[in-house]
Structure formats: C-alpha cells, structure tokens
C-alpha cells in the first residue's frame, strides 16, 4: 500500500462553509461570536458567546 502524503484526505470541494454569506453580529456588543440555538417554541434564537446577550 503506497504511503499517502495526506493522512486524512479532504473531500472534493474543500472545507464546509455556511450557505449564507451574511455574518451575524451581536446587537449588544457587536461581536461576531454568535451561536444559533433552538428557541423555546421551536423557533431559532441566537446567543453571543462573548457577552451572553440572546435574541431571536
């Protein structure tokens, strides 16, 4: 078996990137460190991992 230069070959197309090109930022502190989470009623909410502010 020939040795591969790459231990874990990458799938064609490169790394996975989000479909949306819009980057969310926190309305409170302006940070781009925003996580998407499931809301109480099944909707989508967001939380800033820098300051803890959440919104939907």
The predicted structure's pLDDT at residue 31: 95
Q: Between these two residues, 39 and 18, which has the higher pLDDT value?
A: 39
> Which tens digit of pLDDT belongs to each residue from 7-26?
666 556 555 444 444 688 99
Three-state SS string across the chain, please? CCCCCCCCCCCCCCCCCCCCCCCCCCCCCCCCCEEEEECCCCCEEEEECCCCCEEC
What's the CA gap between 38 and 50, in Å, rounded?
A: 19
33 pLDDT above the threshold of 90: yes
Confidence class for position 6, pLDDT limits 50, 70, 90: low
* Contacting residues for 46 by C-beta, under 8 A, at least 6 apart: 24, 34, 35, 36, 37, 54, 55, 56
């Amino acid at each position: 078996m020939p040795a591969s230069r790459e231990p874990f070959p990458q799938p064609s197309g490169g790394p996975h990137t989000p479909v949306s090109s819009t980057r969310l930022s926190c309305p409170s502190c302006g940070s781009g460190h925003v996580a998407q989470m499931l809301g109480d009623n099944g909707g989508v909410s967001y939380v800033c991992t820098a300051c803890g502010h959440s919104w939907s």
